[in-house]
Amino acid sequence: MLQRLVLSRQVDGHFGIHRSGTTGATIVNVIIEFMDNDHGYIAWLAAHPDGFVLNCERPPRPSSLTLHRSTCWTISRTSGSNWTLNYQKVCADTFEEIASWAGQIGPPWSCGFCAPS
């Protein structure tokens, strides 16, 4: 079963983690959605060099889904800011996990620079 974690900034400035469909202590097959959390997003990229990132509008629309490798320069420059302010980043360790999430919305575009597949 695919698990989903959503990280978002709360009104008080702290970040909240919301889990859906989780039972038990072991988490595998996890999708993490970053919204208003650039520091968490950059940390995830550093910890998951073989992962995948789906860049999409908020809320996601079929025409706004772009799939990247986590090392793609277009979504991973540490000098950037506001990575997760206007767009959300949906992150996973495997292509299958990202494809499953995107399948609920529509087929993603593949980045022309990092060509994930």
Q: Position of tokens 């910890």? A: 47
| pLDDT grade for 115, boundaries at 50, 70 and 90 | confident
What's the predicted TM-score (pTM) here? 0.75
| 66 in a structural domain | yes
What average pLDDT score do residues 70-89 get?
86
Cα–Cα distance between 32 and 50 in angstroms, integer?
15
What is the pLDDT averaged over residues 93-100? 92
Q: Please check whether residue 115 lies inside any domain of the structure.
A: no
Top pLDDT among 93 and 2 is at: 93
Q: What is the mean pLDDT of residues 84-100?
A: 93
Q: Quick check: is 117 in a domain?
A: no
Distance in angstroms (rounded) separating the CA atoms of residues 3 and 36: 20
Preceding omega of 59 cis (within 30 degrees of 0): yes
80, part of any domain: yes
- Three-class DSSP category at 36: coil
Structural domain tally of the chain?
1
Pick the range with the lowest mean pLDDT from 6-20, 58-72, 83-97, 101-115: 6-20
Structure confidence at residue 114 (pLDDT): 92
For 46, phi then psi, to 5°, come to -65, -35
Structural domain boundaries, residue 93: 3-110
Q: Looking at the domain assignment, is residue 116 inside a domain? A: no
